[in-house]
Structure 1
Amino acid sequence: MPFVLTDALERSANRNLPAPLSAAVTTALEHIREGCFQRSLCLVVATTSVASGLEVGYEHYRGSYSNPIMYTPVVLSGMLAGAGLAGAFSGVAARTVLRWVSVATLADGIIGFFFHIRGVARKPGGWSLPVTNIVMGPPIFAPLLFGTSAYLGLMASYLRREEDSNRIAGRLGEAVEAGSSDWRINLRYGRFQKHLSALTVLWAFFSGFEALYSHYKTNFRYKAQWTPILLAPLVMAAAAGAVKSRRIANTALPIVSALAMADGAVGFYYHARGIVRRPGGMKKPLYNTLYGPPIFAPLLFAACGFLGLMASLLRREKR
């Protein structure tokens, strides 16, 4: 019988945790497996949108908002946070407002990626000095990483509510549509492990590349700055393997994804400490946050781990 991570976690929770806590863990795992976690994911979208909005807000402030389009991700992140909160309380809002705000935010990330590439090309020497201009120019993959929350929001808009897992109609609907290969049906019933694993490969590459040249700027002053560089290829390899193998998706992927999340949390601490250690420390919070290490950047790397971990808990597509 193949190893299934959610089944193993449920057995472990029942053996080692008190009854109320084990029941909560089992219920949460069942909701994820069946695609019934719309409300929870909406709250995640709202929280991550605030963090990414603050990050892009002060990064563009450093660029003096020289192009009016630099305001769009700041505005859209606030809209996405509001839509995520609305989706947590209303299934209709999740299927309408959250969905279309997420699509608009994803489109804005793609447009921002084009402008960042153009920004690198317009620096002295352009692409004939790729390393120098990528390091010193606008963060090239940051607009795509900004779309992480939006992608989660789009995903949440197709999921079912937590209470739907206990409804007979929902179970009958799953039985009827179990053979469908439509991606919307797969999302609705929690069958998108391969899809999310493939997405994790891309996001791990983007976040690893961002960490590489960001830490290169400081000449890798601390040994801890190498950890996301080393972990990103491991996450990519595990996620790519998870697309092909259910066993890898239930073993290697959750391990390296959990390490990526932990590394992002540690990186957040180091970046916060770097801000505090700047001249003036917390007496000049705004200035030091603007010109110190990007405080929320490590959390984007942690978000990559979150995608991989979530993928490991889902079911595989029928085809």
Structure 2
Amino acid sequence: MNRQNLFLLCAAIGAGAALVAHNRRGPPLRRIGPHHETSGRAAMPATVIAARRLNRAAGLLATSVLTDSGVEHYRGAFKNKAMYTPLVVSAATLAISLHGTADMRPAAHRSRDLTYTVAAITGLVGTGFHFYNVGRKLGGFCWQNLFYGAPLGAPMAILLSGLLGFASERVRETEHGRRPEIWTMPAGRVLAVVIGGGLLGTTAEAALLHFRGAYHNPAMLLPVTLPPVGAAMMAAIAAGPRTEHSAARLWMWVLVVMGFAGAGFHAYGVSRNMGGFYNWSQNILNGPPLPAPPSFSGLALAGLACIDLVREHPDA
């Protein structure tokens, strides 16, 4: 790893450490029951705390989709008017996620439910469009088309954002003394399955595009090796009733840092093109996608919320 890459990695790790420190700032939490925590002020149900963290994760995924699809669909000249849809939906999802993050009430919100549902549907339809786009090209699903056609896994990010946001509303509205559920199933285990599947899907997309780049930088192996371990840990949470998941918590923080570090590495990749960021209008379109790696960070933050929810509600 050369000196510039090492600098980028250290800077990203420092940013991740600052994020951890910010997350731990403030007066220590004191448990007052299986469903509540307090910081010296008003008590807040653990389900609301988890829901707000899921809103935050959904918002980060929506931000990644908004910026990434904006760049990619601009490069495609918006030749299909439906290409504006993910921009509008992801912007609305980001806005509603900020609303949910700030909302401390233990009740679902209709507008958030509707927006998250639309986001999930948009992700499904967008995936269909991308499969159709690749399949109709000469040669169909060949390597050339998979490398340079519409990215098959990209729309799944807004689908995951919608699913996590919708789940956050189900967790938030849990009545005191009852198990958090999503469609009558334990919320923690459902979230673990969604997050684990999301990590594997995002890894597959990264593996394909990094294979196109011939893994010329050893750091390109990180997003195809670390997230599957996190997915396995999420599977263990989904399968078992254990309440202590220290290793999984640590690994989710590793993935949070990895996602933001990936954006730094992609920025370095853009800077290596002729003209660097001085020729940003061309290099950002043709270089590695800057907003893509933080999708891992969004899923990892959702994983942290899931772990905390299972800790507070072992039956979830």
* TM bucket, shorter chain: 0.7 to 0.9
The structure 2 residue matched to 1:154, chosen from 141, 157, 166, is 166
The structure 1 residue matched to 2:204, chosen from 188, 195, 209, is 209
What are the Cα deviations for residues 155-194 of structure 1, in whole angstroms up to 9, with x where unaligned?
3333439xxxxxxxx9xx423x35xx852687xxxx6221
Over the aligned positions, Cα root-mean-square deviation in angstroms equals 3.2
2:227 corresponding residue in structure 1: 232
Residue 305 of structure 1, CA deviation: 2.0
CA contact (8 A) 1:49 1:78 kept: yes
Verify: 1:174 aligned to 2:176, yes or no: yes
| Unpaired segments ≥5 residues, structure 1 | 1-12, 162-169
Verify: 1:85 aligned to 2:98, yes or no: yes
Residue 66 of structure 1, CA deviation: 2.1
1:134 corresponding residue in structure 2: 146
Q: TM-score scaled by structure 2?
A: 0.77
Q: In structure 2, how many angstroms separate the alpha carbons of the residues matched to 1:261 and 1:31? A: 25
| Unpaired segments ≥5 residues, structure 2 | 1-20, 32-36
Q: In structure 2, how many angstroms separate the alpha carbons of the residues matched to 1:228 and 1:211? A: 7
Instruction: Summarize the Cα distance change of 1:21–1:234 in structure 2 as closer, same or farther, 3 Å threshold.
Output: same
Instruction: Summarize the Cα distance change of 1:290–1:252 in structure 2 as closer, same or farther, 3 Å threshold.
Output: same
1:288 corresponding residue in structure 2: 283
1:200 corresponding residue in structure 2: 195
2:10 corresponding residue in structure 1: none
Verify: 1:49 aligned to 2:62, yes or no: yes
2:88 corresponding residue in structure 1: 75
Verify: 1:116 aligned to 2:130, yes or no: yes
What are the Cα deviations for residues 64-116 of structure 1, in whole angstroms up to 9, with x where unaligned?
22222111101111122222334455669961111101111110110011111
Is the strand fraction higher in 1 or 2? 2
1:266 corresponding residue in structure 2: 261
1:183 corresponding residue in structure 2: 182
Instruction: Summarize the Cα distance change of 1:53–1:198 in structure 2 as closer, same or farther, 3 Å threshold.
Output: same
Counterpart of 2:137, as a letter, is K
1:222 corresponding residue in structure 2: 217
Counterpart of 1:99, as a letter, is D
Residue 208 of structure 1, CA deviation: 0.5
Counterpart of 1:278, as a letter, is N
Counterpart of 1:148, as a letter, is L
The range that moved more, 219-228 or 247-256, is 247-256
Give the length in aligned residue pairs: 283
Residue 147 of structure 1, CA deviation: 2.2
Secondary structure in 2 aligned to 1:174? Answer: coil
Instruction: Summarize the Cα distance change of 1:88–1:239 in structure 2 as closer, same or farther, 3 Å threshold.
Output: closer
The structure 2 residue matched to 1:253, chosen from 248, 252, 266, is 248
CA contact (8 A) 1:238 1:249 kept: no
Percent of residue pairs bearing the same amino acid type? 25
Q: TM-score scaled by structure 1?
A: 0.77
Residue 273 of structure 1, CA deviation: 1.6
Counterpart of 1:80, as a letter, is T
Counterpart of 1:84, as a letter, is S
2:5 corresponding residue in structure 1: none
